Amino acid sequence: MDVYEGGTCQYCKAIVKTALQSLHKKGDISLVKDMQVIVGKNPSEPYSKSSLDFIVGDCACESTDYEGIEIPGCPPFDAFVKIRKAVHNNVSEKT
C-alpha cells in the first residue's frame, strides 16, 4: 500500500490514517497490498495503476487527472466507509 501526498490538511491526513489503521486492526491490511491512496493538493502520482486506487478529498480530486475511486469532500468524511467497502468488494470479486 502506498500513499501519495501533496499539500494535505490535518483532516484528510486523519481520515486516511484512520481508514488505513482500521484495515490493519481488522487484519484486512494484507488484502490491500496493491492499494494506492492519493491525497492533498498537487499530490505526486503513482507510476502505474493498482487494483485499488483512491483519490481522497476535494484538493486531490481537483488537482490530479489520475483515475481511481474519487472520494470528494472537504473534509471527506465518508472516505473511511468508502475505502473499507471498496476493499471488501474488490476481495469478493476475486474470490
- 4-28 tens-digit pLDDT: 999 999 999 999 888 888 877 766 6
Nearest-angstrom CA–CA distance, 38 and 94: 24
Which residues span the domain enclosing 37?
2-94
Is 35's pLDDT higher than 90? no
Domain count, the chain: 1
- Among 80, 38, 28, which Cα is nearest to 63's? 38
Cβ neighbors of 80 (< 8 A, separation 6 or more) are 15, 18, 19, 22
89: confidence class by pLDDT, cuts 50, 70, 90: confident
Give the CATH number, domain containing residue 42.
3.40.50
The pLDDT of residue 93 is 60
**Which DSSP helix (H) or strand (E) runs through 58?**
helix 58-63
Q: How far, in Å, CA of 58 to CA of 32, rounded? A: 23
